[in-house]
Structure 1
Amino acid sequence: MQHNVKRVNISAELKKLKLEKDQLKIKRYQELTAKLFDLRDNNTYTQDAFNETTTLLLMNPEFYTVWNYRREILSNIYKPVGANVDDYAQVLNDELQLVLQQLKKFPKCYWIWNHRRWCLFELVALHRVNWMYEFAVVSKLLELDQRNFHGWQYRRFIVENIEKESVAKDPSHEKVILLKIKLDEFDYTTTKVQSDFSNFSAWHNRGNLIPKIYKLVHEIEVPAEFKERVKLFDNPYDILIHELDMIKTGIYMSPEDTSIWSYYNWLLTDDFFTKAYSKEEYLKVLHNQLEVISEVNELEKEDNGQDNIWCLKSIIFTKTLINKQQRGEVLTDEIKSYLKILIKIDPLRKGKYEDQLRGVVGIV
């Protein structure tokens, strides 16, 4: 009994039966692979070959060569030459359903996502694509796994195409349309990070959206319906303070979470923020953050008896930014003492800290 799970002893007979079953599967897989490679080499594009690719891809969705062959078959036997597009559109939509079932099982397989994109662009050429349906699909997939970066990447791809389609329908209101869509996406990231501060993809998406929304807000006369939603984007300093306040809860709750600290580093170093206000304002922000992180680190020391690795790294990071602004010595004795502590409590990154101590590698 380990971890309250009863250990099951498999008899020699059952092991033998399982091995025989696995060997049959392996043999079938190898035979089917050889057959499909031979068919492709001979430029064979038939319904039977298409069905065989389905069988093999259900066994191994990572087999990108078979996905390529499947697309060749689709293009050669289904793609219409003339105006009759109904049958091909139906085949492509059937493909989307197959892909969706595979994504539910293998949500991090590049080749499945890639095939879905290909199907969509084929539907674009037929003027039969439904981007809003795809948006609903990826939203549902992100509910199942909200940190899947493939899903977030795909969502950005879908949103970009929704933007293009929406603007094409009403080009005279391009920037208002884009503003609404980006604000909706920004609100979506807010929901996701508030439910899980370790959602790196949500933070990343948020960071990409902020300068784009800011630019749009200052390029147009914002409609009354958006006035309240865009108040945050009056100036970069207000955005910075808002975002730092937002991640403060995450820092207190999960100071070891790398997603929060990555976003923190971006906020304090990106030109969008650092070039938008005075040196005095910047130093005030840095000193305030130093107080917050130092307090969290002290709480961690009380609980665990030692400095928190990420808090200490961020104290070093923030103090270095302060030193650079004051144009004093960057690698001070204080920072060196912190690096020596990190060498002891974080031995896996010992080499990096030693390089920083020698000044071979920068801290910021």
Structure 2
Amino acid sequence: MFDIEDYKDVEPLPLTQDVTNEEELCRIMYCDEYKQVMALMRRMISKDELSVRALRLNSRAIELSPAFYTAWNYRFRIIEHLLKEETQLQGEGHDASYMLNKELDWLDEFTLNNPKNYQIWSYRQALLTQLYPHATFSREHPIMDLMLDDDSKNYHVWSYRKWCCAHFKTYGQEMAFTERFIKRDVYNNSAWSYRFSMLKHSDVDLDQELQFVLDKIEYVPQNISTWNYLGGLLQMMGTSDKLVEQLLQFSKKYIDESAFAYEFYARMSKLSGTANGKDVAQMYSHIADIDPIRDQWWNRKSLQADQGK
């Protein structure tokens, strides 16, 4: 429990001097508690105090400023030191395993209250990589599930889950995991990107995967995520004449309602040999007409196609 009285012996190191700098455009108006806590932490950092009370102070500092990366770095050094100096922990009635689990519990709660803070995830990675080698993927599931249930496109969480899979060498359930989110929202680009990153680690049949994405395109042809996924899948499967012809005819069905379908059709036309560079350039010019928001991009693609790029 944080108590400011525990730091009476610490001389604060103020954030700023109490003088007015005429060149300052706008002085930051810190609240009194913020100035007090940060001044104490600055002094303790300068003294390199790595104690249990320093950890309590650090917790309060991070609560006041969740994005303060210096505080996160300091916290890691405190935890690392306390694990090496178990006598301090034992004085608090703890051991290393207890402390690491409590730290992750604290971090879970903090994460739920700060869903867009990326320092959290870097800190978790550092803990699991350097200080907690016996952690398990299952221990990380609940917090990630809660975060994605709250915001299914939180790229911090998706990135962290990808890291966890690589760290724990666990990929078995990931394709099914993404399918749950894609079913909920077919436009979820985070889920599609994650699914593609997991594809090479799965034993899924590529023909079945092809049918999966084609079904999603038929459901919503205007979704760029599915067309991009299809393009990546095509690279994995190889551009056989049969597959290119299949995708040429498939994309042709949607060129009147989707600029992304038209682009894919242009690419398949070139691959199949049914269109030369100038033909493809004209297709991109037409896409620019039907998708004026991105007309500069399509015109650039048209110029590149015309130049044989």
Residue 27 of structure 1: CA displacement?
4.5
Q: State the match for 1:116 in structure 2.
A: 124
- Decide whether aligned partners of structure 1 residues 157 and 347 sit closer, same or farther in structure 2, where only a CA change above 3 A counts: same
1:29 paired with 2:30, answer: no
Q: Given that residues 193 and 203 in structure 1 are in contact (C-alpha distance below 8 angstroms), is that contact kept between their aligned partners in structure 2?
A: yes
Task: Output the amino acid matched with 2:64.
Answer: M
Q: Are 2:195 and 1:202 aligned?
A: no
Name the residue aligned to 2:47: 42
> Is this contact kept in 2: 1:132–1:162, CA < 8 A?
no
Deviation at 1:54, TM superposition (A): 1.2
Distance 1:362 1:58, change over 3 A: farther
For 2:308 and 2:181, how far apart are their aligned partners in 1?
30
Q: How many residues are paired up?
A: 278
CA distance in 2, matches of 1:197, 1:363: 35
**Within the alignment, does 1:141 sit opposite 2:144 as a pair?**
no
- Hey, what does 2:67 align to over in structure 1? 62
Q: CA deviation at 1:101?
A: 1.4
Q: Is 1:73 aligned to residue 78 of structure 2?
A: yes
Distance in 2 between residues matched to 1:288 and 1:363, nearest whole Å: 24
Give the letter aligned to residue 41 of structure 2: L
* Structure 2 residue 282 is matched with structure 1 residue 332: no
CA RMSD of aligned residues (A): 3.2
Deviations 1:198-223 (A, max 9, x none): 23333333333433344xxxxxxxxx
* Letter aligned with residue 310 of structure 1: F
> Is contact 1:53-1:66 (8 Å) kept?
yes
Q: Work out whether residues 356 and 363 of structure 1, in 8 Å CA contact, stay in contact via their aligned partners in 2.
A: no
Cα offset, 1:65, TM superposition: 0.8
State the distance in 2 between where 1:26 and 1:318 align: 61
User: Given that residues 111 and 120 in structure 2 are in contact (C-alpha distance below 8 angstroms), is that contact kept between their aligned partners in structure 1?
Assistant: yes
1:292 maps to which residue?
Answer: 250
More helix by share: 1
Contact 2:136/2:168 (8 A) holds in 1: no
Q: Distance in 2 between matches of 1:36 and 1:266?
A: 49
- Contact 2:283–2:302 (8 Å) recurs in 1: no
Aligned to 2:262: 312
Unpaired segments ≥5 residues, structure 1: 1-22, 164-180, 215-231, 234-238, 301-307
Checking the alignment, whether the CA contact within 8 Å between 1:352 and 1:361 is kept in structure 2 is no
| Structure 2: gaps (5+ residues) | 1-27
- Partners in 2 of 1:146 and 1:361 — Cα distance? 41
Q: Matches of 1:69 and 1:209 in 2, distance apart?
A: 34
% identical equivalent positions: 22
Which of residues 288, 295, 307 is equivalent to 1:350?
A: 295
1:242 to 208, 212, 230: 208
The SS at the match of 1:332 is: helix
Offset of residue 99 of structure 1: 1.2
Q: Is the 8 A contact 1:317 1:363 kept in 2?
A: no
Answer yes or no: is the 8 Å Cα contact 1:89–1:123 preserved in 2: no
1:197 partner amino acid: V
Q: Distance in 1 between matches of 2:60 and 2:250?
A: 56
Q: Is the CA contact 1:339–1:357 (under 8 Å) kept in the aligned structure 2? A: yes
Question: 5 Å matches for 1:72-221?
Answer: 72-80=77-85, 86-125=94-133, 127=134, 129-163=135-169, 182-214=171-203
Structure 1 residues 75 and 195 mapped into 2: Cα distance closer, same or farther (>3 Å)? Answer: same
Give, in whole Å, the separation in 2 of the partners of 1:107 and 1:344. 40
Counterpart in the other structure of 1:177: none
Given the two structures, how large is their TM-score scaled by the length of structure 1?
A: 0.65
Q: Distance in 2 between matches of 1:74 and 1:361?
A: 60
Question: Partner letter of residue 133 of structure 1?
Answer: R
Partners of 2:137 and 2:246 in 1: how far apart?
Answer: 44
Task: Provide the C-alpha distance between the structure 2 equivalents of 1:143 and 1:317, rounded to a whole number of angstroms.
Answer: 37
User: Which range moved further: 201-210 or 65-74?
Assistant: 201-210
- Amino acid paired to 2:79: L
Q: 1:322 is aligned with what amino acid?
A: S
CA contact (8 A) 1:342 1:353 kept: yes
**Alpha carbons of structure 1 residues 29 and 312: separation in structure 2 relative to 1, 3 Å:** farther
Letter in structure 2 aligned against 1:336: A
